[in-house]
Homo-oligomer: A and B are copies of this chain.
Amino acid sequence: MGETVARDRNGLEVLSYEECLELLGARRVGRIALVNAGSPVIVPVNYVLDGTSVVIRSAPGAKLDGADRSRPVAFEIDEHDPESRTGWSVLVTGLAEPLEEPDEVERFDRELDAWALGDRDDVHLLRVRAESITGRRLDVPAAPRGG
Contacts and interface: CB of A to CB of B under 8 A. Distances in A.
Contact of A40 (B74, B122, B138, B143): B74
A33 interface: yes
A54 to B, nearest CB: 13
Contact of A42 (B7, B91, B117): B91
A145 B113 CA distance: 10
The copy count of this chain in the complex is 2
Interface in A81-118: 82, 85, 87, 89, 91, 93, 113-118
Contacts of A114: 142, 145
A146 B123 CA distance: 14
A41 B122 contact: no
A44 B87 contact: yes
A72 B40 contact: yes
B11 A118 contact: yes
18 contacts: A9-B60, A9-B122, A10-B119, A10-B122, A11-B117, A33-B40, A33-B74, A39-B72, A39-B74, A40-B40, A40-B72, A42-B76, A82-B113, A85-B115, A113-B142, A114-B142, A118-B140, A120-B145
